[in-house]
A and B are shown apart, each in its own frame.
Chain A
Amino acid sequence: MLELKDLENRSIYILREAYAEFKRPAVLWSTGKDSTATLWLCKKAFFGKIPFPVIHIDTTYKFKQMYAFRNNLAKEWGMNLIVARNEEAIKEGVGPKDGKFECCTSLKTQALMSCLEENRFDALILAIRRDEHGIRAKERYFSPRDEDFKWNYKDQPLEMWDQYQSTTEDKTHTRVHPILHWRELDVWEYVKQENLPVNPMYFAKDGKRYRSLGCEPCTSTIDSDAKTIEEIVEELKVTKIAERSGRAQDKEKAFTMQKLRALGYM
């Protein structure tokens, strides 16, 4: 078993390095289990208060339970919450009907870009993990994005012994990935150990549950009877179904995820 304590120690170290190295960091929160666990790690790293803004990218297509969860926890944890939306595209009615790649790029990536620009954030903390997707397995803990917001995945920095590259000249910002080394199972065991709040959509109802949360039109359920955190942990120990199997944008075509991420998608 991976020791949760080791995972946590490493994540806290990374968060503190990011806070020391960057002038204007922010953390991205989807309201899902990974980014909620990451906010909790921030609270641990900084002794109770998250010392930078929390960004939620609102496509307007999120499940209503996600909005409710967001509003409650933001208040309870005293977050400085920024809700980022691409208002222009929303007005024009951009949606999944325009193609998943186009919709994600417009409502997520573009909304994020404008938010970063407006607030001049130089580091963005994200809760991606290596075991989620082959493309995310290739990431660094500190991952620079160039002036066009692009991920130059063919020339990533040397990153050894917790010496993360933090220079940001000619870069829009650096992505910081404090839970890159965690697995889905570790996150749930941590949720259990730390008694963290999670969206009830993760628990099975009528034999179905959400394993990964996204926008309502592009996210589907898996067959499951796991009604508690303990049952989810047990399910994950034996499952062979991919975590993001219910996320349509990953699967539209081969390498869609790579293309989305190269453009600045999370």
Chain B
Amino acid sequence: MNVNVVIVGHVDHGKSTLIGRLLYDSDSITEGRVEEIQRLAEEYKRRFEFAYFLDSFDDELKEERTIDTTGVMFKGKNLYSVTDVPGHKEFIKNMLTGASHADVAVLVVAAEEGIQEQTGRHAFLIHMLGIKRLFVVINKMDAVDYREEAFQDIKNEVAQLLASFGYHHVDFIPGSAMEGDNIYKRSKRMEWYHGHTLIEALDGVKLSKQSKPLRFAVQDTYLVDSDKVIVGRVESGTLRRGDEVVFHPSEVKGKIEKIKILEGELEKAEAGDSIGIVASCEPKRGDVCGLVENPPVPTEEFLGEAVLLDNSVRKGDVVELRCGTRRVKCEIKEIQEKINSETGEVMAKYPDYISQHEAATILFATEPLVVEKFSDIPELGRFVLVQDRNIGAGVVLEVPK
């Protein structure tokens, strides 16, 4: 099973080092790479750091900080795609890029510093992204002499923060990525701890698929042999030949006559499948279809929670919104609550604008499109906001019926 893991936390709490340690101890580093990094460390007059396996821009080495997200893979009981993200506030958009595909998050908190600004912000953002599985590594235990009380103090503090974002019963692991304690190998220096090492915790993760109603997002229409083939992806549920479906917002109904791939025809397609269909109707890019008995509902208004990464937006502004393959113009009709993305606290009710790095619950008035409540069908319950470039991202809280 492939599990996507994102490592989050405040700057310098040891995220890159932790991944470097996982790669090193799981024997996933290629030959010569260790020597290459030793040479670099000498050239930059630094001591050897596991983080250098991840930070491959020269600026990252010079400045000793991660600028952009990195994806690496290693094998345990599962095959892990691990994403390192930067801990600086200015690189939050890179953090979100890295975290958006994660199944599991590992929050790293340095034992000698405890909760810092990005600890809270990253916890808030992974909660917003809907990442339900979370482990906390209290890192740098070597800096507090591996004391249990130090671990307990920070654990209590972090548990309280996480509870405010709805994370209860989280596993806390005392460790040292630098020294290799309880990351991949069990530490002998903290005999008071009887829980999992990080790799044991990750190996215990099982991902299950929920059954959801059919939603198919249309990307395009191609002419193949004399068939008009509607291409797209099954976002959720199962599509079967013969199904009676309806596409929105185009409002066209039809029957699935063929499900096509290059090699031939299929009887059915499952969530995640990129396919082509031939149907007795002509939908457009941006449409979403579902079964006639459980159809998607087009809307012109919905309540979302979004975080802004660039620019600022005012009440009344019109921006582009993208959800699935649909792009619409939408108006920021009402900013209901401005939220501090570090603490999750409401900073203001009905403010006129929000600025970079702030979050908000926003009522959007849009051209017709299909969105779903994020908690029901996440694949169509998340969106990005665009003003020349991607400036924000959010999830759908409520869709009026």
Nearest chain A CB to B48's CB is how many angstroms away?
15
A43 touching B32, Cβ below 8 Å: no
Contacts of A140 in B (CB 8 A): 97
Residues facing A in B8-40 (CB within 8 A) are 27, 29-33, 36, 39-40
B68 touching A156, Cβ below 8 Å: yes
Nearest chain B CB to A189's CB is how many angstroms away?
13
State whether the Cβ of B222 lies closer than 8 Å to any Cβ in chain A: yes
Contacts of B57 in A (CB 8 A): 135, 138, 153-154, 258
Nearest opposing residue in chain A for B95, CB measure: A158
Nearest opposing residue in chain B for A159, CB measure: B97
Nearest chain A CB to B337's CB is how many angstroms away?
22
A47 touching B262, Cβ below 8 Å: yes
Nearest opposing residue in chain A for B99, CB measure: A160
* Interface residues as binary, A31-54 with B (CB distance below 8 Å gives 1, 0 otherwise): 000000000000111111000000
B71 touching A137, Cβ below 8 Å: yes
State whether the Cβ of B309 lies closer than 8 Å to any Cβ in chain A: yes
A16 touching B388, Cβ below 8 Å: no
Q: Which of A6-14, A59-67, A100-108, A225-233 contacts B (4 or more CB under 8 A)?
A: A6-14
State whether the Cβ of A240 lies closer than 8 Å to any Cβ in chain B: yes
**How many chain-A residues does the 8 Å CB contact rule pick out?**
48
* Interface residues as binary, A1-31 with B (CB distance below 8 Å gives 1, 0 otherwise): 1110010111011001101100000000000
* Interface residues as binary, B321-341 with A (CB distance below 8 Å gives 1, 0 otherwise): 010010000000000000000
Tally A-B pairs: CB < 8 A.
142
Nearest opposing residue in chain A for B69, CB measure: A138
A167 touching B58, Cβ below 8 Å: no
A138 touching B233, Cβ below 8 Å: no
Distance in angstroms between the alpha carbons of A183 and B172 in the assembled complex: 32
Q: Which of B138-146, B195-203, B268-276 contacts A (4 or more CB under 8 A)?
A: B268-276
Assuming A47-B229, A181-B71, is B262 touching A163 (CB within 8 A)? no
Distance in angstroms between the alpha carbons of A19 and B219 in the assembled complex: 10
Nearest chain A CB to B257's CB is how many angstroms away?
16
Residues facing A in B237-278 (CB within 8 A) are 260-262, 272-274, 276
Nearest chain A CB to B237's CB is how many angstroms away?
15
Distance in angstroms between the alpha carbons of A10 and B232 in the assembled complex: 11
Q: How large is the interface on B (under 10, 10 to 19, 20 to 34, 35 or more residues)?
A: 35 or more
Assuming A16-B220, A20-B285, A137-B72, is B100 touching A160 (CB within 8 A)? yes
Contacts of A6 in B (CB 8 A): 2, 272
Contacting A3 at CB < 8 Å: which of B2, B276, B384, B390?
A: B2
A2 touching B2, Cβ below 8 Å: yes
Most A CB contacts (10 A, CB to CB) among B79, B93, B309 go to B93
State whether the Cβ of A76 lies closer than 8 Å to any Cβ in chain B: no
Distance in angstroms between the alpha carbons of A227 and B274 in the assembled complex: 34
Distance in angstroms between the alpha carbons of A43 and B231 in the assembled complex: 14
A154 touching B100, Cβ below 8 Å: no
B389 touching A157, Cβ below 8 Å: yes
Distance in angstroms between the alpha carbons of A9 and B30 in the assembled complex: 29
Most B CB contacts (10 A, CB to CB) among A153, A156, A163, A181 go to A163
B274 touching A138, Cβ below 8 Å: no
Distance in angstroms between the alpha carbons of A254 and B41 in the assembled complex: 11
Nearest opposing residue in chain A for B393, CB measure: A160
Nearest opposing residue in chain A for B272, CB measure: A9
A-B CB contact pairs (8 Å), 14 listed: A20-B325, A137-B71, A140-B97, A157-B390, A158-B97, A160-B382, A161-B101, A161-B382, A163-B383, A169-B388, A241-B32, A254-B40, A254-B43, A258-B56
Q: Which 4 A-B pairs have the closest CB atoms?
A: A134-B56, A160-B100, A12-B274, A242-B30
Other A-B pairs, 12, CB within 8 Å; known A134-B54, A158-B392: A1-B79, A17-B325, A45-B231, A130-B71, A158-B93, A158-B391, A159-B100, A160-B390, A165-B390, A167-B388, A245-B32, A254-B58
